[in-house]
Amino acid sequence: MDKLKLAVLISGRGSNLQALIDACGDPDFPAMIVHVVSNVADAYGLVRAADANIETTTLNHKDYKDRESFDAALTVIVENSGAELICLAGFMRILSAGFTERWHRRVINIHPSLLPDFKGLDTHARALAAGHVEHGCTVHHVEAGLDDGPVILQARVPVVAGDTPETLAARVLLAEHTLYPQVIKILANNPELWL
């Protein structure tokens, strides 16, 4: 069976990208990364991609007059890469409705909370402040709107006594690194979920 071709979009550290690179290193894993795009030139994830011999593009949003023109350039890059599915992995930009409609069901995102709780930033501090005993991460289809769209799968972690936003973030991040490859495997084996 042909492997599912992924484009991964990043803005920073790229630890989720690394988890996907590592998963794709298994010959039995049903997906491969064909391109990595960053909107930040010095994102460390670009180094990770280059180390794995994956083609990269830096697309600085500041070079575009508006969201639509940036997203149009992004579409051209993804189309040229041959990617079938777009994986947001710490890509800190909201995508236009035009983009999410063009790639309907084919854009997925990982977010560090149990959506619909805590869309946006500082999810770990907000989970602690709300007194939640459980927290986690979500992979979802992306629709126009912040961290919006149908949930595909979530992973839960406990909040433990003495947790700080940093200790909780570290526990959630470990769960993210398992969850994202797990979801890609499910989507690769069940194309009706995204076609």
**Residues that are catalytic:** 111
Cα–Cα distance for residue pair 99/9, rounded to 1 Å? 14
Distance CA(172)–CA(169), nearest Å, equals 5
Distance, CA of 141 to CA of 150 (rounded, Å): 5
Contact at 8 Å (CB) between 10 and 45? Answer: yes
What minimum distance in Å lies between the beta carbon of 2 and ligand GAR?
Answer: 27
Residue placing its CB nearer to ligand GAR in the complex, 82 or 108: 108
Question: Which residues lie across from 128 on neighbouring strands?
Answer: none
Nearer to ligand GAR, 76 or 170 (CB): 170
* 55 vs 148, beta carbon nearer ligand GAR: 148
Give the residue at shortest CB distance from ligand GAR: 90
Tokens standing for residue 46: 């670009």
